[in-house]
């Protein structure tokens, strides 16, 4: 067990259903009622009665025949009325278009459980004190980059710092860069190895290295709340290149291995 970042990590290492109001689209029951209005058929029944009174004139019988033709004329007038009722249907699409959801900005993961896979890395050992910690890490990354650039070897992942021990004055570490081929002519402090692997909790820090005390304090509180115990190491993965990015613009994943 060890302490880290000026006591900030003293406790870290030891420890749709939518309710669908479906509108009942009625079959427009009013539309059949106009069909019932075709009952003007009784009108012809009244016409025969005068026809009986006009019995002496047999030629009058053809006159009732045109009267049903006239009664047929109202029938077509009923058919356009359902066509008019269909007119509201085009108004339905606009609300559907207005229902497009706005994009949601998700927060950075904090305490997300994940698993790291081991990668081949070239690494360099180092020690640092807290007053010049970030400068020391930058120098370690520069040494690794100089080696890889000379041999034309590209990075196969993000640069990492693995903290191996800490105390009130400083810490020891491994600076690591993933590679796919083995570099040659390593210095005495450099070696080829594997990055950490296994079950970890993932946290995200944005901002300068000096402000990471606040992130680690929050991590410590998270572990205490969840009653989780960390291993004697933790990892920082630099999503932004620390050699090219302003220090206050750094984005760093912090991985805490659990026992």
Residues 5, 212 contacting (CB under 8 angstroms)? yes
pLDDT in tens, the chain (259 residues): 334 454 555 445 444 333 334 344 333 444 444 444 444 444 444 444 443 343 444 444 444 444 444 444 444 444 444 444 444 455 555 555 455 554 544 578 799 999 999 999 999 999 999 999 999 999 999 999 999 999 999 999 999 999 999 999 999 999 999 999 999 999 999 999 999 999 999 999 999 998 999 999 999 999 999 999 998 889 999 999 999 999 899 999 999 998 8
At residue 233, the pLDDT reads 87
Q: Where are the alpha helices (DSSP H) in the chain?
A: 32-36, 42-46, 48-53, 66-72, 74-78, 80-85, 93-98, 133-150, 212-226
User: d(Cα 189, Cα 236) in Å, to the nearest integer?
Assistant: 20
Residues 80 and 161 in one domain: no
Give me the pLDDT at residue 252, please: 97
Residue 21 counted as domain residue:
no
Q: Is residue 140 part of a domain?
A: yes
5 in a structural domain: no
Pairing label, strands 190-194, 120-129: antiparallel
Residue 80 sits in the same domain as residue 139: no
Q: What is the CATH number of the domain that holds 220?
A: 3.20.80.10
118 within domain boundaries: yes
Cβ–Cβ < 8 Å for 71, 14: no
Residues linked to residue 174 through DSSP beta bridges, in sequence order: 125, 162
Q: Are 255 and 116 in contact (CB under 8 A)?
A: yes
The pLDDT value given to residue 136 = 97
127 shares its domain with 201 = yes
Domain containing 44: what range? Answer: 33-86
Assess whether 243 and 180 both reside in one domain: yes
Mark whether 117 and 62 lie in a shared domain.
no
In a domain, 241, yes or no: yes
Is residue 234 situated within a structural domain? yes
Task: State in Å, rounded, how far the first CA of the chain is from the last one.
Answer: 12
206 and 246 fall within a common domain: yes
Based on the fold, state whether residues 118 and 215 are members of the same structural domain. Answer: yes
Written as six digits, the tokens of 80 are 């356009």
The total of structural domains in the chain comes to 2
In-domain check, residue 91: no
Contact 258, 228 (CB under 8 A): yes
Residues 115 and 156 in one domain: yes
One domain, residues 44 and 119 = no
Q: Do 253 and 180 fall within a single domain?
A: yes
Instruction: Tokens for 219, please give them.
Output: 């991590």
User: Are residue 122 and residue 81 in the same domain, yes or no?
Assistant: no
If asked whether residues 68 and 191 sit together in one domain, one would say: no
In a domain, 7, yes or no: no
């Amino acid at each position: 067990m060890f302490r880290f970042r000026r006591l900030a990590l003293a406790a870290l290492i030891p420890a749709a259903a939518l309710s669908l109001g479906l509108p009942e689209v009625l079959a427009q029951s009013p539309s059949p009622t106009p069909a019932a209005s075709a009952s003007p058929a009784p009108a012809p029944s009244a016409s025969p009665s005068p026809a009986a009174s006009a019995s002496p004139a047999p030629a009058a019988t053809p006159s009732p025949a045109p009267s049903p033709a006239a009664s047929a004329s109202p029938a077509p007038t009923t058919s356009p009325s359902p066509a008019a009722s269909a007119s509201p249907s085009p108004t339905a699409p606009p609300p559907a278009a207005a229902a497009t959801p706005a994009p949601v900005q998700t927060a950075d993961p904090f305490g997300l459980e994940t698993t790291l896979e081991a990668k081949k890395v070239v690494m360099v050992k180092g020690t640092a004190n807290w007053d010049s910690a970030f400068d020391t890490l930058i120098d370690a990354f520069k040494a690794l980059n100089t080696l890889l650039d000379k041999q034309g070897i590209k990075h196969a992942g993000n640069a990492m710092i693995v903290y191996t021990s800490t105390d009130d004055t400083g810490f020891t570490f491994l600076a690591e860069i993933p590679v796919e081929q083995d570099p040659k002519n390593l210095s005495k402090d450099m070696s080829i190895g594997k990055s950490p692997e296994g079950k970890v909790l993932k946290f995200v820090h944005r901002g300068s290295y000096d402000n990471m005390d606040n992130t680690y304090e929050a991590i410590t509180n998270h572990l205490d709340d969840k009653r989780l115990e960390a291993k004697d190491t933790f990892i920082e993965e630099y999503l932004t290149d620390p050699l090219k990015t302003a220090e206050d613009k750094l984005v760093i994943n912090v991985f805490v291995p659990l026992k």
